[in-house]
Amino acid sequence: MYKSPVRPHLEDCCQVWSPHYSKDIKLLEGVQRRVTKLINSMENLHYEERLRRLGLMSVENVELEVI
């Protein structure tokens, strides 16, 4: 659910609009954190575990790779 409708939008935005401020990166990270928590089987897992199970990286790590 998350990989299809949400993550591509975040990744596209990072390519066009690369956040330079930590507050912007934290805002994007918060969106990803909330959306991954909406998945029924993952609501009680830690954020890092949700990312690992979904095969995702944190937005902060993606930003570091883009630079």
How many other CB atoms sit within 10 Å of the CB of residue 65? 8
Within-domain flag for 25: yes
Within-domain flag for 2: no
pLDDT at 1: 54
Within-domain flag for 60: yes
How many domains, in total, are found in the chain? 1
Within-domain flag for 31: yes
Within-domain flag for 1: no
Q: Which domain holds residue 59?
A: 7-66
In order along its 67 residues, the chain shows pLDDT tens digits of 555 666 666 665 554 456 677 887 888 889 889 989 998 889 899 999 999 999 888 877 765 555 5
Give the burial class of 60: count Cβ atoms within 10 A of its Cβ; 0-12 exposed, 13-18 middle, 19 or more buried.
middle
Within-domain flag for 40: yes
Structure tokens that stand for 56 in this block: 């995702």
Cβ–Cβ < 8 Å for 59, 32: yes
